[in-house]
Amino acid sequence: MQTIEPNLAGVLDVAFGSLHERLNAHRPGLVAQETGVIQSVSMGTATVAGLPGVGFEELLEFPGGVPGFVFNLDPEGLGVVLLGDSEHLKAGMEVRRTGRVMDVPVGDGLLGRVIDAKASPLDESGPLCFQERLPIERPAPPIMHRAPVTVPLQTGIKVIDALIPIGRGQRELIVGDRQTGKTAVALDTMLNQRGNGVVCVYCAIGQRGDSVARVISVLREHGVLDQSVVIVAGGETPPGLKYVAPYAATSIAEHFMAAGREVLIVYDDLSQHARAYRELSLLLHRPPGREAFPGDIFYIHARLLERSTHLRPEFGGGSLTALPIVETEAQNISAYIPTNLISITDGQLYLSPALFQTGNLPAVDVGKSVSRVGGKAQLPAFRAVAGDLKLAYSQFEELELFSRFGTRLDDATRQTLAHGRAIRECLRQAESDPYSVPEQITVLLALAAGLFDALESNRMKPAERALREAVGLMPTAIRERMLQGQPFSAEDKQVVQSLAEAALRPFRKDRHDRDPRQPAT
């Protein structure tokens, strides 16, 4: 005690001396703070008087800690979009400026978390850990900062990777009616990114709670949630949160892109986003246009999707691939919002209700779907085995219509129809069952070689499973050359085809050698 007390006393003297100096140096001053008054409150919006120095999209603080941002700057008052519960707000209450725009936390601490549009946790994992905050509205990267799309984003879905490929940094629209599997396609794409370093961001806009819970459950079950961020603005949330949700999700994704990482973002869906913006605009008395949407409805989606790109190495080298989803009514892809988004994006995947009802899942209509960029990023092995697949399938669909009239068909037409049926059956794929690149190449090569043409439809899936199991016997060097994007040589093709023939030999032999008097098993 005798040696500690003098040291402790010296430390206390220094601490109190420093505190005394700071107190003497402190000079209190007055800080001017602008305050306004609520004039009126409606569903998700408010009109505020005062605040002469406020700026557009500046964040305001309402009583009870409810945030809101300035949406209209009118001479008679400010139109404010509320981002919280407004039932307790009344006319005459005081409003304060914050001097900042709306921002969200970003960083690796958000991975594996479920948050709302204000970045408040919705799971039970405690508070968020983050390094910095970014504004939700940011300018898109300049054209000189962008690099060409050259690397494929494998979805694990055969019909997409083979016929409508998507590249990293591309914006591919998913369009279709209700209950046609739009979310399932996006979710399968996220599942296929497991373990390859791609960060996934899923933004639910106006979706039902059970639908969002199912997505989170599937991501957790397949081990993808740890590399994903889920932003939820459910159907019961105020329209302001639905409006800002995709912009907040994009800022979170841009942080990873700027750090040189590959990012996939899913907007589910932008039809709800457009309706929320229309609701806000009408409540704040903005002039309506076509279908009551405001005149800048195209701009709000253009400035959102233009932020998705592939950066040049000197600017980070990361990429942000966007899969926006839009819902159509009665298969009307020429409606206002779908045509706007089709003109903004780099292609679309159209999901047909007719294909969905007949069980052809995923219900991707190859004729109406297109990828304007991904073909340049497609792996050479895919181009080698699936180059003529789209043409053969289109010819089959045309011939199938005429064959229904019962006309006599020659041998060449029968062979085309048999090959087309094999293509259609082979392109079917179960949900949450993505195929790896070697598995897809092996199946597509067997399909192109006609190895499936003689099989009955009920034996196609067992034959596919046998092919997938046989991929484990593929030489490692060939598998690596596929994944690295090297040319698919004739020798490699022969090795893979021999592997496929050996795997399918029991199925083909069983068909040809079976006693025709015995029923099929």
Report domain extents, the chain: 35-101, 104-378, 383-513
Q: Tell me the pLDDT tens digit for each residue of 177-196.
A: 999 999 999 999 999 999 99
Report how far residue 341's alpha carbon sits from residue 390's, in angstroms, rounded to the nearest whole number. 25
Q: At CB < 8 A and 24+ separation, what contacts does 22-28 make?
A: none
The catalytic residues are: 372
Cβ atoms of residues 191 and 73 within 8 Å: no
Higher pLDDT, 501 or 20: 501
Residues 6+ apart with CB under 8 A from 335: 328, 329
Average pLDDT over residues 402-427: 82
Rounded alpha-carbon distances, angstroms, from residue 211 to 208, 216, 234, 238, 417: 5, 9, 10, 18, 39
User: Within a 13 Å sphere around the CA of 434, how many CA atoms are in the beta-carbon half?
Assistant: 20
Cβ atoms of residues 504 and 466 within 8 Å: yes
Decide if pLDDT at 5 tops 80: no
- Name the pairing type of β-strands 45-50 and 35-42: antiparallel
3-state secondary structure of 366: coil
Could you tell me which of 340, 287, 18, 341 has the C-alpha nearest to residue 172?
A: 341
* Class (C level, CATH) for 35-101: mainly beta
How many residues comprise the chain? 521
Report how far residue 50's alpha carbon sits from residue 35's, in angstroms, rounded to the nearest whole number. 7
Cβ atoms of residues 371 and 345 within 8 Å: no
Average pLDDT over residues 277-303: 95
Q: Beta partners for 49?
A: 37
User: According to the model, what pLDDT value does residue 519 have?
Assistant: 43
pTM for this entry: 0.90
Residue 226 exposed, middle or buried by CB count within 10 Å (0-12, 13-18, 19+): exposed
Lowest model confidence (mean pLDDT) among 46-60, 157-171, 194-208, 373-387: 373-387
Report how far residue 149's alpha carbon sits from residue 162's, in angstroms, rounded to the nearest whole number. 17
3-state secondary structure of 182: helix
Cβ atoms of residues 432 and 187 within 8 Å: yes
Lowest model confidence (mean pLDDT) among 10-19, 239-248, 308-317, 351-360: 10-19
Domain 383-513 fold is Lysin (1.20.150)
Cβ atoms of residues 207 and 357 within 8 Å: no
* Class (C level, CATH) for 104-378: alpha beta
First to last CA, the chain: 92
Report how far residue 509's alpha carbon sits from residue 501's, in angstroms, rounded to the nearest whole number. 11
Backbone φ and ψ for 449, nearest 5 degrees, come out as: -80, 0
What does the mean pLDDT of the chain come to?
A: 90
Report how far residue 239's alpha carbon sits from residue 221's, in angstroms, rounded to the nearest whole number. 31
Confidence of residue 11 (pLDDT cuts 50, 70, 90): low
Could you tell me which of 375, 430, 14 has the C-alpha nearest to residue 188?
A: 430
Q: Tell me the pLDDT tens digit for each residue of 318-365.
A: 999 999 999 999 999 999 999 999 999 999 999 999 999 999 999 999
Query: Using omega within 30 degrees of 0 as the cis cutoff, is the peptide bond preceding 492 cis?
Result: no
Report how far residue 321's alpha carbon sits from residue 166's, in angstroms, rounded to the nearest whole number. 9
Q: Tell me the pLDDT tens digit for each residue of 188-246.
A: 999 999 999 999 999 999 999 999 999 999 999 999 999 999 999 998 899 999 999 99
Q: Tell me the pLDDT tens digit for each residue of 239-273.
A: 999 999 999 999 999 999 999 999 999 999 999 99
